[in-house]
Structure 1
């Protein structure tokens, strides 16, 4: 019915290995985001791990303003990283997917 089961299992294993390689590679893909005025800069990986935060001294005197900057800029950076992550992971997953009837959602 499904053809060569062992061939499909091999393809699934290849897809899983490709996903794992992609996860590892995404640790080295850096996403930079800055506040509109450049007073706050954030760098994170495409796996959404924060690598660096640079804060202008003028923000250090007002905790509430700094919190606002952090929330806005972190959310923008996470959104960018998530888009990259989702696209790359979807591509990796479909690379080795066997042709199983009804499973064409990955194609």
Structure 2
């Protein structure tokens, strides 16, 4: 019914290894997001780990404005990183996924 179970298990292991390699690689993919007026810049990895935040000194006197800028900029950067992460992880999982009936969610 399912064919070569051992072969499928090997394919699943290979898919898992590919996903792990992709996770590691995504740690080196950096996403920069900058506000239109260049007052805030954030850098994070495609695994959504913040690496740097640069703040224009003019924002330091107004905590509410600074918070607004940070929230908007971080949310944009996280959305970009999430899209890259999801696309890359789906591709990695799909690469070695065995053909199991009813399990075509990665195709």
TM-score, structure 2 as length reference:
0.99
Equivalent runs, 1:1-107 vs 2, <5 Å: 1-107=1-107
Q: 1:104, CA displacement in angstroms?
A: 1.3
Q: Secondary structure at the match of 1:100?
A: coil
User: Which structure 1 residue ranges, 5 or more long, are not aligned?
Assistant: none
How many pairs does the alignment contain? 107
User: Which structure 2 residue ranges, 5 or more long, are not aligned?
Assistant: none
- 4+ runs of 1 displaced by more than 2 Å? none
TM-score, structure 1 as length reference:
0.99
Q: 1:78, CA displacement in angstroms?
A: 0.2
Q: Secondary structure at the match of 1:60?
A: helix
TM-superposition CA deviations, 1:43-64 (whole Å, max 9, x none):
0000000000000010011000
Q: Secondary structure at the match of 1:37?
A: coil
Q: Indicate the RMSD between aligned Cα atoms, in angstroms.
A: 0.4
